[in-house]
Structure 1
Amino acid sequence: MASKEFLLLAFLFVLHGATTNVHGDNIIDRCWRRQPNWAANRQRLAVCSVGFAGKMRQNRGPGVIAYMVTDPGDDPVRPRPGTLRYGATVLAGKVWITFQRGMHIRLAQPLFVKSFTAIDGRGADVHIAGGAGIMLYQVNNVIIQGLHIHDCRSQSAGQVVVPGGAVQLAGGMDGDAIRLVSSTKVWIDHNTLSRCEDGLLDVTVGSTDVTVSNNWFFNHDKVMLLGHDDGHAADRRMRVTVAFNRFGPNVNQRMPRIRHGYAHVVNNLYDGWGHYAIGGSMGPSVKSQGNMFVASGPDNKKVTRRMPAGGKDWDWASIGDSFQNGAFFKQTGSRVRPNYNKHQAFVAASANEVRLLTKDAGALSCSAGSAC
């Protein structure tokens, strides 16, 4: 009898190990990182996304062109084959972009990424730095994964090629790392972003169905803006998932700042903030769930800020968050569910797991032939 009980306990132990997250990977990373052949099956990544972006199935399949960046140079008007701009902007059709080796790319003008494009930096140490940032303008089905984007600077207006091949005068960007304008179904995953002149990520002018996951944001003032301005009512339809990211150290505000729309902020690590962590205006809805907020000083313990002061009728809910060093979240209104469909839905983890779930946030160091 004792032997049977031992076997039963052993079976339950093995079953528990197979069904629980023993490695600390989050639901996105579990989908692909343990596969030693990830480099031979890069498009598997497209079915690993969760949240409002949903699955990125339109970015995979036999019709997708595999394009490798071999040249770190940049000509904003006549990009050469082999450069990032040629693959992301000029090359027709659905494109999956990889990099031959590690490289530093200084963009002379914003990189306009076309629809149905995946920029996949896994397996290479790729830095976009010292110049312009990435622009998603009226596009859809875009993945940006595995890049270091830092020290972006504002650019004077200049000629630049845009999707479709036309060359036009582009107004100067403010120095954002990544900006979305009127774009939908976008997944920003496992990037490392810091020290840009303006924001690290802006989702604006009616952009929606966006997932921001597994990124590391640090050494920056205004981190993430969701919503163009107070007068842009089209952003009421904006839906953004912010999951498994690490904010800090040395971040001040906008993690995120939301106007009008809805943000599901879930299982992120907040390693201190200066002004505030989550802010908003124009009555946005926020569901903060299973995050860990670690206040960094005696004068900045409050997680939230409503602009202007008030917002008593806004729906801002904190569910299962963890608060350390005296951090606190001022709740108002009611809890508003994200109402994910089956392709978007995922189970939020406990805040106690957040350090494990975000331990590999940012661009990963991966080698072909072994798990990442």
Structure 2
Amino acid sequence: MASLGIHSTVWRFVLTIMMIVAILGAKLSDAKQEKMSGLRMNVIDQCWRLNPEWRRHRTQLATCSVGYAGKMTNNIGKDVVHYKVTDPSDDPINPKLGTLRYGASVIQGKVWITFQRDMRIRLARPLLISSFTTIDARGVDVHIAHDACLMIYKETNVIIHGLRIHHCKPQGPGMVMGGAGKVISLGQVDGDAIRLVSAAKIWIDHNTLYRCADGLLDVTRGSTDVTVSNNWFRDQDKVMLLGHDDGYVRDQNMKVTVVYNHFGPNCNQRMPRIRHGYAHVANNLYQGWTQYAIGGSMEPSLKSEANLFIAPTSGNKEVTWRKGSNGDEEAFEFHSVRDVFENGASFTVTKGGRVPNPNYNAEQGFKVADASCVRPLTISAGALRCSKTSRC
């Protein structure tokens, strides 16, 4: 009997050791998996997606932006209003409490907008978004489609994250609730997914945009300090316009960062097209084009850095297009640094001159990864599909 007792004690001890080893092994495995996930994520996503409690700490997102938008910490703090969209309907003049327009246009100050559930929103008029507003659609499937779409007009400190915006239509002139919470008269709009007009410090991250009547993103009329990151642009003729028109010289001060985006399939041109200003285009995936990938006019400056350009199977293999200024097509600066070209893609760089650097400050700067990493760094571009438990 004593021998049986000894054997039982030893067996319990062995079982305890085995359980401890299993638990430690699982923790080490989770840690290894988390480390591997981090290696596959870009610097923006690493900032918040590795946190399994991100739903409880949504405003952490505002600390994760890079590029010219800088950190979006003006959008958070003790005075932020947390607003939840519960109603997908839209009244452009008298928005109801619970609708997206009420949160984005009526409420003033710092507003962090989330969504109660999956929804499809059909905007009767363009949604004018107020300063210090964050639209955060993480964890749900939100479509803005088949009518008017988004505009940021003379506003600042805006985050647009996690939306699916598509099939946007032109709109004639009419009345609408403005970003300052007052009804205003709005002129003709062309059917862009997102249009910036005289806006500053804007971050557009992890959205999926496609099949709109005009373009997917316009940055116009003196808008600046914009970061466009982790978006999926597809199935579109004119994708991204930076600069209003050739005669709008105020856009000389425009600065835009385009990073970690996926362009394609079925995109024709303007990824982006730049007028007057400066763009840092880095670590993006280009899945073909028809006319060109990156173009410009009116002496813009571009640093194309460590992107992956995959030329179409047939047709134009050249990445760039230039509209000359007074017959001098070399008057502006288009430079390629550490880009990778596949399927016969080519990039005609500006002859001579210096490579224009972004000159980021401490809160804007980030390390541009090698172009060999572009595929994993952009694999999650577009609106994320988050699990109902924790992961995103």
Q: Does 2:341 correspond to 1:323?
A: yes
Asked whether 1:49 is paired with 2:65, we answer yes
1:171 positional shift: 1.0
Amino acid corresponding to residue 179 of structure 2 in structure 1 = P
| Mapped contact 1:149–1:193 kept (Cα < 8 A) | yes
Per the alignment, residue 120 of structure 2 pairs with: 104
Tell which structure's C-alpha radius of gyration is larger: 2
Cα shift at 1:175: 0.2
1:31 corresponds in structure 2 to 47
1:285 maps onto 2:285 in alignment: no
Query: Could you tell me which residue of structure 2 aligns to residue 196 of structure 1?
Result: 212
Task: Please say if 1:349 is aligned against 2:369.
Answer: yes
Letter in 2 for 1:271: Q
| Letter aligned with residue 243 of structure 1 | V
Say if 2:245 is the partner of 1:229.
yes
Distance 1:127 1:136 in 2: 18
- Residue 121 of structure 1 aligns with an amino acid whose one-letter code is A
The answer to whether structure 1 residue 261 and structure 2 residue 281 are counterparts is no
Q: Determine whether 1:220 maps to 2:240.
A: no
Shift of 1:78: 0.3
* 1:51-105 deviation line (CA, Å, top 9, x unaligned): 0000000011111000000000000000000000000000122100000001000
Q: Give the gaps of 5 or more residues in structure 1.
A: 1-14
Moved more, 360-369 or 106-115: 360-369
Structure 2 residue corresponding to 1:142, chosen from 155, 158, 177: 158
CA distance, structure 2, for counterparts of residue 298 and residue 152 of structure 1: 30
2:329 equivalent to 1:311: yes
Does structure 1 retain, via aligned residues, the 8 Å contact 2:38–2:46?
A: no
Q: Distance in 2 between matches of 1:286 and 1:174?
A: 27
Q: Does the CA contact (< 8 Å) of 1:223 and 1:253 recur in 2?
A: yes
> Which residue matches 2:27?
none
Q: What residue in structure 1 maps to residue 356 of structure 2? A: 336
Whether contact under 8 Å (2:244, 2:275) holds in the other structure is yes
1:343 alignment partner, SS class: coil
Q: For residues 370 and 232 of structure 1, what CA distance do their matches in structure 2 show?
A: 47
Relative contact order: is structure 1 or structure 2 higher (C-alpha 8 Å, sep ≥ 6)? 1
Aligned length: 358
Report Cα offsets for 1:211-269 as digits up to 9, x if no partner. 00000000000000000000001000000000000000000000000000000000000
Deviations 1:188-225 (A, max 9, x none): 00000000000100000000000000000000000000
8 Å Cα contact 2:280/2:358 also seen in 1: yes
Moved more, 154-163 or 140-149: 154-163
Letter in 1 for 2:362: K
Aligned-partner SS, 1:41: helix
- SS of aligned partner of 2:40: coil
CA distance in structure 2 between the partners assigned to 1:227 and 1:146 by the alignment = 25
Match for residue 127 of structure 1?
A: 143
Q: CA-atom RMSD, angstroms?
A: 1.6
SS of corresponding position for 1:85: helix
The superposition leaves residues 266-318 of structure 1 with CA deviations (integer Å, 9 ceiling, x where unpaired) of: 00000000000000000000000010000013321000000137521321110
- 2:102 is aligned to 86
Instruction: Report if aligned partners of 1:51, 1:211 keep a CA contact under 8 Å in 2.
Output: yes
Q: Is the contact made by 1:316 and 1:334 (CA closer than 8 Å) also made in structure 2? A: no
For residues 329-370 of structure 1, what are the alpha-carbon distances to aligned partners after superposition, in whole Å with 9 as ceiling and x for unaligned? 111142011000000000000110000000000000113541
Distance in 1 of aligned mates of 2:99 and 2:159: 18
Q: Which of 367, 377, 384 pairs up with 1:364? A: 384
Alignment-mate amino acid for residue 362 of structure 1:
G
Amino acid at match of 1:316: F
Q: Which of 164, 167, 176 is the equivalent residue of 1:160?
A: 176
Identity of aligned residues (%): 59
Report the TM-score when normalising by structure 2.
0.89
Task: Single out whichever of 295-304 and 341-350 deviates more from structure 2.
Answer: 295-304
The answer to which structure has the higher helix fraction is: 2
Structure 2's unaligned 5+ residue stretches are: 1-30
**TM, length-normalised to structure 1:** 0.94
Equivalent AA in structure 1 for residue 53 of structure 2? N
The one of 56, 74, 91 aligned to 1:40: 56
Structure 1 residue corresponding to 2:263, chosen from 230, 244, 247: 247
Match of 1:6 in 2: none
